[in-house]
């Protein structure tokens, strides 16, 4: 097809979808547009819920270790050690 002419009056846009939920959260958090449309209080509540989902996301397990995982494995290790006594 024909290429569209560049319009200097339009703001630059991200042309790809984020690859992970963490990237999505980062884009959402930095968006002034979302804050204007939803309001900052709704934006913050939405971010809290998405961060909770991100901490449960299995896709990132091989890439980063989440705080909840460290605590969970620490507790399991303690239980195993105490059961040996």
pLDDT value, residue 53 = 82
pLDDT digits (tens, 9 = 90+) for 1-33: 566 677 777 776 667 788 888 889 999 999 999
> Could you give the C-alpha distances from 45 to 2, 5, 11, 16, in angstroms and in order?
43, 39, 27, 25
pLDDT digits (tens, 9 = 90+) for 46-64: 999 998 888 776 655 556 6
pLDDT value, residue 60 = 54
pLDDT value, residue 14 = 61
Residues ≥6 apart with Cβ < 8 Å to 51: 25
Residue-range domain boundaries for the chain: 21-83
């Amino acid at each position: 097809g024909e290429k569209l002419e560049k319009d200097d009056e339009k703001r630059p846009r991200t042309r790809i979808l984020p690859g992970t939920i963490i990237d999505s959260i980062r884009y959402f958090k930095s968006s002034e547009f979302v804050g204007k449309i939803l309001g900052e209080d709704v934006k913050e509540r939405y971010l809290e819920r998405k961060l909770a989902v991100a901490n449960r996301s299995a896709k990132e397990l091989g890439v980063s270790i989440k705080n909840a995982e460290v605590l969970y494995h620490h507790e399991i290790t303690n239980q195993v050690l105490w059961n040996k006594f």
